Amino acid sequence: GDSLRQIDWKATARRRSLISREYQDEQNQQVLIMLDGGRRLGMPVGSLTGFDHALNAALLLAWSALKQKDKAGAMLFSGDQPRWLPPVQGQQGINHLLNGLYDLHPSQHASDFSLAARQLVRRSRRRALVVLVTRLQQEDLDDLMSAVSLLRRHHLVLIADMLLPEQEQLSRQPVGNDFDQALQVCADAQEQQARHDLHTRLRHAGALVTATTPQHMPAQLNNLYLMLKRSGRL
């Protein structure tokens, strides 16, 4: 029942019986989470803030990596107190990350992606999956391109763009006869197109990009991590 691609033909010829290779996910890889601590994630989303949702997604991803016997670390940038938690291993490592991240809150600072990329590279040059969790804006392009260019010299880069639930609902809302509503839908469509163009530029620069609402981000990041691990890209 094995695939033909799994057959080791040289070993089969030597032993004169079919030999099938078995593959196992490589362990002891690194996942580094760059968490945006700037003001853009301070917006309320339900009873939490966007930053709270981003932190929850980061911790779930870290827990999943540790469970897979990989190492997980985290860095807060653009916050009032930038923080660096070096990669740890073992399922007890989640307690170390929780203790290092539980008291974080978003600041009023602007997000500086290129500075954060330089700081991360100085701290860790060993190849890792670097997951940048933020909310992208149109004016970020030049700063992000600089950050991605630097990070990709050493790491595989995944950018997680947080979408507002209200915008998701608006994008599916039919346009009626209300003029103000039509203007709102039109403005949102223009913003979404600009966001799509930004994602395209980042992908062309070599970054992986995913965009989802705060509620779906934990599962989305976990699924992408497992997919990259299974594919051997990590």
Contact 122, 116 (CB under 8 A): no
Question: pLDDT category, 188, cuts 50, 70, 90?
Answer: low
The pLDDT of residue 170 is 53
- pLDDT number for residue 182: 61
pLDDT beyond 70 at 26: no
Q: Provide CB contacts within 8 A for 184, sequence distance 6+.
A: 170
**Residue 187 pLDDT > 70, yes or no?**
no
Note the pLDDT tens digit of each residue in 71-85: 999 999 999 988 999
Of 213, 214, 209, 229, residue with least CA distance to 64: 229
Look at residue 4 and tell me whether its pLDDT is greater than 90.
no
Chain segment 28-55, per-residue pLDDT in tens? 899 999 999 999 999 999 899 999 999 9
Number of alpha carbons in the 13 Å side-chain half-sphere of residue 58: 31
pLDDT at 82: 85
Q: Is the pLDDT of residue 197 over 80?
A: yes
Strand order in the sheet with 129-134: 83-88, 71-77, 30-36, 129-134, 156-162, 208-212
Beta bridge pairs of residue 72: 31, 88
Inter-axis angle of helices 93-101 and 50-67, nearest 10 = 160
* HSE (side-chain half, CA atoms, 13 Å) at 88: 18
- How many Å separate Cα 35 from the centre of its chain? 9
The pTM assigned to this predicted structure is 0.82
More confident of the two residues 13 and 65: 65
Domains of the chain: 29-231 (3.40.50.410)
| Residue with the larger pLDDT of the pair 169 and 53 | 53
Q: Decide if 129 contacts 61 (C-beta within 8 A).
A: no
Are 220 and 210 a contacting pair, CB within 8 Å? yes
Regarding beta strands 30-36 and 71-77, do their DSSP bridges make them parallel or antiparallel, or are they unpaired? parallel
CB 140 within 8 A of CB 111: yes
